[in-house]
Amino acid sequence: MSPDAMTVRLHLRRIRVVDVTVDLPERLEVVVEDTRRVVRCPHCGFRTTRVHDRRRVRVRDVTFGGRPTVLIWLRRRLTCEDCSGRFLEEHPEFVLGRVSHVTRRLARTLVRDVNRLPIRELSRRWGLGWHFIMGLVASWSELVVAERRRRRCRVLMVDETSLRRRHRYVTVLINGETGEGLGVVRHRNSQALSGFFASQGHRWCRGVRVVVTDGSEAYRAAIRSHLGHATHVVDRFHVARWFASALIEVRRRIQRIGPHGSRPAYDPDVFRSRYLQLRREDRPRRGSEEPPRTRPCRPPRAGSRLDPLPAPPPHLPSRGR
């Protein structure tokens, strides 16, 4: 095996540097190849060393010394000596797309930067396609969700939301202990939630101890059939909302119904207290002992339209005199 042509390593396993074609302050291009000599045929599994031809594939890499780096991979096209089939070699350090190709460490960098920058900005910085970066994020999200679903979940939180208002409702499932999302299922009926439980398996369902939902009857039916052993809890938001709605309805009925031949009773204090149950304890209502918060008055700006003009100094004579 011949040594590398450059003194600085790329720190990529199973990669040998062949030549440095461009070494400029603004960019760097390096020719690399795989260190393996024997490759297994993907069709029959026979090992072969016969190379039919080589193709140059441009692979984007992370910046090297602050310079954009491109790896020119001499990808071999081999011929199997057993089945006479031809195939292209694969490498674990490269992520190949239809048009764009990147190294695996650059793919991890792109997925990490998506949390801070939009995909359009990353596409402009790295010179990659928007759909290619979105595909990387989607594939990485599938791996993360699959890893989260394999873990044990004791507290399961289920809620519904709409990707478009009053259209395209989905069911969101979250691990209550870690706060990590477990998945987003289409629709908000019992069949959607039952399909998720069936895909997780009986072992995972037996580990769930508490299920928190919004009181939906469809979710309740799915929980009874798959998580009958778990404790079903209704979340605090919907309990407070139902309680406040009932109090408001009682107040309206009392105020609007009066004796026969008289006008309905109306109490301003009762009317102003219709949302008192939803107010936080540290925010008292108006009329309490604590004075209401007031915004500080801003001092007038100098030279404004309503401010009088400053008088001339006494030692300067007036122009009209």
Residue ranges making up the domain that contains 79: 1-96
Task: Flag whether 303 is in a domain.
Answer: no
* Secondary structure (3-state) at 52: strand
Domain boundary residue, one of 33, 61, 96: 96
Task: Flag whether 261 is in a domain.
Answer: yes
| pLDDT-based confidence at residue 147 (cuts at 50, 70, 90) | confident
Q: Are residues 4 and 85 in the same domain?
A: yes
- Residue 90 CA to residue 78 CA, distance in Å, equals 11
Q: Are residues 160 and 227 in the same domain?
A: yes
Q: Are residues 160 and 139 in the same domain?
A: no
- Residue 234 CA to residue 224 CA, distance in Å, equals 14
Mean predicted confidence (pLDDT) in 255-260: 66
Rg of the chain over all Cα atoms, to the nearest angstrom: 35
Q: To the nearest whole number, what is the mean pLDDT of the chain?
A: 80
Q: Are residues 117 and 83 in the same domain?
A: no
pLDDT tens by residue, 88-122 = 999 999 999 888 899 999 999 999 999 899 999 99
- With a cut of 60, say whether residue 245 has pLDDT above it: yes
* The pLDDT value given to residue 59: 93
Q: Are residues 23 and 84 in the same domain?
A: yes
- Residue 127 CA to residue 111 CA, distance in Å, equals 15
* The pLDDT value given to residue 258: 62
Task: Flag whether 219 is in a domain.
Answer: yes
Q: Are residues 128 and 211 in the same domain?
A: no
| pLDDT-based confidence at residue 184 (cuts at 50, 70, 90) | confident
* The pLDDT value given to residue 109: 93
Task: Flag whether 136 is in a domain.
Answer: yes
Tokens for 237?
A: 């938001």
* CA distances to 77, 89, 123, 142 from 94, in Å: 16, 11, 18, 19
Q: Are residues 156 and 222 in the same domain?
A: yes
List of residues 6+ apart from 133 with CB closer than 8 A: 110, 114, 119, 122, 123
Q: Are residues 91 and 9 in the same domain?
A: yes
Task: Flag whether 87 is in a domain.
Answer: yes
Task: Flag whether 1 is in a domain.
Answer: yes
Count of domains for the chain: 4
Q: Are residues 46 and 77 in the same domain?
A: yes
**Among 34-43, 92-101, 239-248, whose mean pLDDT is lowest?**
239-248
Q: Are residues 216 and 165 in the same domain?
A: yes
Task: Flag whether 142 is in a domain.
Answer: yes
Task: Flag whether 286 is in a domain.
Answer: no
Residue 12 or residue 311, greater confidence: 12
* The pLDDT value given to residue 318: 41
Q: Are residues 28 and 92 in the same domain?
A: yes
Q: Are residues 34 and 69 in the same domain?
A: yes
**Sheet (strand 167-175) strand order:** 181-186, 167-175, 155-164, 210-213, 231-234
Nearest CA among 180, 112, 176, 172 for reference residue 149: 180
261 burial type by CB count under 10 A (0-12 exposed, 13-18 middle, 19+ buried): exposed
CATH code for the domain of 218:
3.30.420.10
Domain boundary residue, one of 123, 150, 177: 150
Domain boundary residue, one of 202, 218, 234: 234
- With a cut of 80, say whether residue 256 has pLDDT above it: no
Nearest CA among 68, 66, 60 for reference residue 32: 60
